[in-house]
Amino acid sequence: MTKRTALIAGASGLVGGECLQRLLASGVYSKVTVVTRRSLGAAAKHAKIREIVVDFAQLDSVRADLRADHVFCALGTTIRKAGSQAKFRQVDCEYPRRFAELALANGAKHFSLVSALGASSKSGVFYSRVKGELEDALRAMKWPSLCLVRPSVIAGDRQESRPLERLSETLLRFGPATYRPVDAGKIAAAMIATAQREPRGVTVIESREIPRVAG
Residue 131 annotated in active site: yes
Task: Per-residue pLDDT tens, the chain, 215 aa: give them.
Answer: 579 999 999 999 999 999 999 999 999 999 999 999 999 998 889 999 999 999 999 999 999 999 999 999 999 998 999 999 999 999 999 999 999 999 999 999 999 999 999 999 999 999 999 999 999 999 999 999 999 999 999 997 755 555 555 555 454 555 556 768 999 999 999 999 999 999 999 999 999 999 999 99
Single out the catalytic residue among 131, 142, 179, 186: 131
Q: Structural domain tally of the chain?
A: 1
Between CA 167 and CA 183 the distance in angstroms is 15
How does DSSP assign 20-32, residue by residue?
HHHHHH-TTEEEE
User: By the 8 A CB rule, do 71 and 82 touch?
Assistant: no
- The reported pTM is 0.91
How does DSSP assign 63-108, residue by residue?
GGG---SEEEE-----HHHHSSHHHHHIIIIIHHHHHHHHHHHTT-
Residue 127 annotated in active site: yes
CATH number of the domain where residue 122 is located: 3.40.50.720
Between CA 210 and CA 151 the distance in angstroms is 8
Query: By residue range, what is the domain housing residue 102?
Result: 4-214
End-to-end alpha carbon distance in the chain:
21
How does DSSP assign 126-152, residue by residue?
HHHHHHHHHHHHHHHTT-SEEEEEE-S
Single out the catalytic residue among 127, 142, 179, 186: 127
